[in-house]
């Protein structure tokens, strides 16, 4: 019936004079940013981040990134879902526009953390308030109506991540081939002047700690004001 497993092990033991060597497979669980990713981030954050301290990690955080299929950056390190960590070796080389936008959003949290913001504490408060439900209230903002007069530090940490990543999309992915978020991209292009306005102080000095969220974890509860209704129905006509 052929050589049994026991016989094979015995033959290997005779060959090596001891137990056969065991091959150890090491599972990569973290990596530093690539030179391409640093260059990508510098387009937005300039030198306001110490990129040498930034790690991208595989899963972790009690398995939340894996179960939610989303990244988490509570302590200045980006925790990706395992499948994303494996498939995305370099965000700057990704053929999906959404990956690059995602990276900029998470790097916003790195920026916040390195300037002294408590992403972990704010994240807990947002979660308690229901901001991370399926409706994702914590991410919503409206620069064309309800939020048009707000300063950047009046938005919570997730809104800041969205605003910066949407600006990146509108400014730097205009000619991206086969953009995989065409509807969102069109919206970001339309609101580019408003994005530039709210980010004016950020681009003047991205190292300014006064840019960090002042309202901690305040959520944006969309209320269709009379002004919003007027704009909404005007667009339908």
The predicted pLDDT at position 220 comes to 53
Q: Is the confidence at residue 1, as pLDDT, over 50? A: no
The predicted pLDDT at position 225 comes to 41
Q: Is the confidence at residue 198, as pLDDT, over 80? A: yes
Kindly report the three-state secondary structure assignment for every residue of 78-125.
EEECHHHHHHCCCHHHCCCHHHHHHHHHHHHHHHHHHCCCCHHHHHHH
Q: Is the confidence at residue 10, as pLDDT, over 90? A: no
What secondary structure letter does DSSP report for 152? G
Q: Is the confidence at residue 99, as pLDDT, over 80? A: yes
Q: Is the confidence at residue 234, as pLDDT, over 80? A: no
The predicted pLDDT at position 88 comes to 98
78-80 sheet: strands from edge to edge: 30-32, 55-58, 78-80
Using a pLDDT cut of 90, give the percent of the chain over it. Answer: 71
* pLDDT, mean over the chain: 86
pTM for the full predicted model: 0.82
Q: How confident is the model at residue 134 (pLDDT cuts 50, 70, 90)?
A: confident
Residue 108 in tokens: 């916003």
Q: How confident is the model at residue 9 (pLDDT cuts 50, 70, 90)?
A: low
Neighbours of 33 (CB within 10 A): 24
The residues spanned by each domain of the chain are: 5-236
Q: Which residue has the higher pLDDT, 228 or 98?
A: 98
Neighbours of 104 (CB within 10 A): 25
Residue 51 in tokens: 């990129």
Q: How confident is the model at residue 82 (pLDDT cuts 50, 70, 90)?
A: very high
Q: Which residue has the higher pLDDT, 237 or 228?
A: 228
Q: Is the confidence at residue 187, as pLDDT, over 70? A: yes
Provide the annotated active-site residues: 106
At 89-98, the pLDDT tens digits run 999 999 999 9
What are the backbone dihedrals phi and psi of residue 101, each rounded to the nearest 5 degrees, phi first?
Answer: -65, -40
The predicted pLDDT at position 217 comes to 59
- Helix or strand run (H / E) with residue 192: helix 192-198
Q: How confident is the model at residue 216 (pLDDT cuts 50, 70, 90)?
A: low
At 63-74, the pLDDT tens digits run 889 998 999 999
List of residues 6+ apart from 131 with CB closer than 8 A: 137, 138, 139, 156, 158, 217, 219
Neighbours of 4 (CB within 10 A): 9
């Amino acid at each position: 019936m052929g050589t049994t497993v026991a016989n094979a092990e015995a033959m290997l033991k005779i060959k090596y004079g001891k137990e056969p060597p065991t091959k150890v497979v090491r599972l990569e669980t973290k990596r530093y940013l690539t030179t391409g990713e640093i260059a990508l981030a510098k387009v937005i954050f300039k030198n306001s981040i110490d990129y040498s301290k930034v790690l991208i990690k595989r899963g972790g955080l009690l398995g939340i990134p894996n179960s939610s299929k989303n990244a988490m950056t509570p302590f200045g390190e980006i925790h990706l879902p395992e499948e994303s960590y494996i498939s995305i070796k370099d965000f700057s080389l990704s053929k999906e526009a959404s990956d690059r936008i995602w990276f900029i959003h998470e790097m916003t949290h790195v920026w916040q953390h390195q300037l002294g913001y408590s992403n972990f504490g704010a994240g807990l408060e947002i979660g308690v308030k229901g901001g991370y439900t399926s409706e994702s209230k914590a991410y919503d903002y409206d620069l064309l109506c309800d939020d048009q007069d707000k300063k950047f530090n009046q938005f919570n940490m997730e809104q800041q991540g969205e605003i910066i990543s949407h600006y990146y999309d509108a400014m730097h992915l205009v000619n991206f081939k086969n953009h995989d978020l065409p509807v969102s991209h069109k919206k970001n292009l339309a609101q580019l002047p408003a994005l530039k306005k709210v980010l004016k102080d950020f681009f003047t000095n991205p190292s300014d700690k006064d840019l960090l969220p002042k309202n901690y974890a305040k959520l944006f509860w969309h209320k269709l004001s009379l002004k919003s209704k007027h704009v909404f129905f005007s667009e339908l006509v």
